[in-house]
Amino acid sequence: MKTAIITGASTGLGREFVRRLAEVFPEVECCWLIARRAEQLQETAALLPGKRVECIPMDLCREDSFAVLRDKLAAEAPEVSLLINNAGCGYLGNVGEMDTASQTRMIDLNLRALTAVTNLALPYMGRGSRILNVSSIASFCPNPRMTVYSATKAFVSSFTVGISEELKPRGITATAVCPGPMQTEFLDVGNITGNSKMFRMLPYCDQGKAAGGALRAAKNGRTIYTPKGFYKFYRVLAKIVPVKLMVKFAKT
């Protein structure tokens, strides 16, 4: 049975991935939805009528969650045809001024959990399987006031490009989607709403279109996908302008 595993599936972009999954990957028969909040996972599961859905409430910042996922994979040995690493967080604030727990949570969830889930799922993925990692436009250039967040997303994009090459002999592709800001709870949770002039100025991505475009990019085996022309231009600009100059304009 072809199975998709989606982390951070309870709200926002994660829920949109679930909503649009069947239209891009109709061959997926079963879906494992992972997030902390069980009630919201059940609401998301309702978006997949006719599919077998398993809701797995867990906090991927906890070490024991990886053992739970490892044991479940070993017990059921699913045919994982799609892995979407969407779980992530970002907090606004200067290094040295923000509480340490918030800074390290970004590292635990955006880096450690993504790496662990990928490593655990790969033994169950075969030729034609796809990995979709949610990165960000923040990966293109360090963003002062969100320095740790942008550094974690630079890791995600780099990690994706690296495993894409590693997995070519196995016929598995990896895609990083790098969207701009979206109107989701991410902004409120990260203390960004009302506290960032840059976020007020930037054009927002539609989360439904971003999810659909990312799924199609993964289906087509693209390595990096950036929604919206404005951010495609920003990605190119960040490659040619010296980073010490770019960072002055990238402050959040």
Which H/E stretch holds residue 40?
helix 38-45
Going residue by residue through the chain, which has 252 residues, state the pLDDT in tens, using 9 for 90 and above: 999 999 999 999 999 999 999 999 999 999 999 999 999 999 999 999 999 999 999 999 999 999 999 999 999 999 999 999 999 999 999 999 999 999 999 999 999 999 999 999 999 999 999 999 999 999 999 999 999 999 999 999 999 999 999 999 999 999 999 999 999 989 888 889 888 888 888 999 999 999 999 999 999 999 999 999 999 999 999 999 999 999 998 888
The answer to whether the beta carbons of residues 145 and 110 sit under 8 Å apart is no
Buried b / exposed e along 173-194 (16+ C-beta atoms within 10 A): bbbbbbbbbbebebbeebebee
Integer Cα distance of 25 and 215 in angstroms: 8
- Name the pTM for this structure: 0.96
Q: In residues, how long is the chain?
A: 252
Backbone angles phi, psi at 203, to 5 degrees: -70, 135
The residues near 72 (Cβ < 8 Å, ≥ 6 apart) are 56
